[in-house]
Copies of this chain bind each other. A is one copy, B any other.
Amino acid sequence: MRLLPSTAHKFSGGPIINPRCDYRSEPVLIRETTLSDFDGIWPIFHEIALAGDSYAYSRDTSREEAERLWIGVPRRTFVAEIGGRIVGTYYIKTNQDGPGNHVCNCGYMVSSSARGKGIATALCFHSQKTAAELGYKAMQFNFVASTNDGAVRLWQKMGFDVVGRLPRAFNHPVKGYVDALVMYKWLDT
């Protein structure tokens, strides 16, 4: 667990980044986590892990383990707030050590009650800035369920390529074994 000074950024958004998100009426604040933030992150994490259709977390991941995975292990974790309520979150960490340590990995979660507002786009945009600030040259998503059309489309819009397809690597709760995708973006352009 890290307690870091909160570095807050008002995310200005705008039509190029996400035309659906009306930041004027509901400003989205993206800031680094503080020690107490997991109270707001846990319901989102728990909901998404329990659904079992998008992330490589066990459905019965405990709150303690979730906090370790989402805040303890990563280099940095951020939250997105609307009106003081946490509606989304992302982490950033090094994907592989040594000869691979110039590539980061991020994970994003948005509360089901706040979807369709461009929060994931805002988080991904923010994470790419964070990645550059931390000196990473590329970003990789290791395990995107091929059935998660919304996510695949969104990451492609954000400049990520599908660079790998893992046959039947994702055990979907309804569809059974489906492929998982590896997505990748070189940031240093």
Contacts and interface: CB of A to CB of B under 8 A. Distances in A.
Interface in A10-67: 49, 52-53, 55-59, 61
A53 B170 CA distance: 30
A168 interface: yes
A99 B164 contact: no
B56 A169 contact: no
A151 interface: no
Contacts of A99: 52-53, 55-56, 145, 170-173
A167 B142 contact: no
A164 B164 contact: yes
A120 B98 CA distance: 22
Given A58-B98, A96-B142, A182-B182, A166 B103 contact: yes
Q: State the oligomeric state as a number of copies.
A: 2
A138 B57 contact: no
Contacts of A57: 97-98
17 contacts: A55-B98, A56-B96, A56-B97, A57-B98, A58-B97, A58-B98, A96-B142, A96-B143, A100-B180, A101-B171, A102-B171, A102-B177, A163-B167, A164-B164, A164-B165, A164-B166, A167-B186
Interface of A: 49, 52-53, 55-59, 61, 96-103, 137-138, 140, 142-143, 145, 163-173, 177, 180, 182, 184, 186
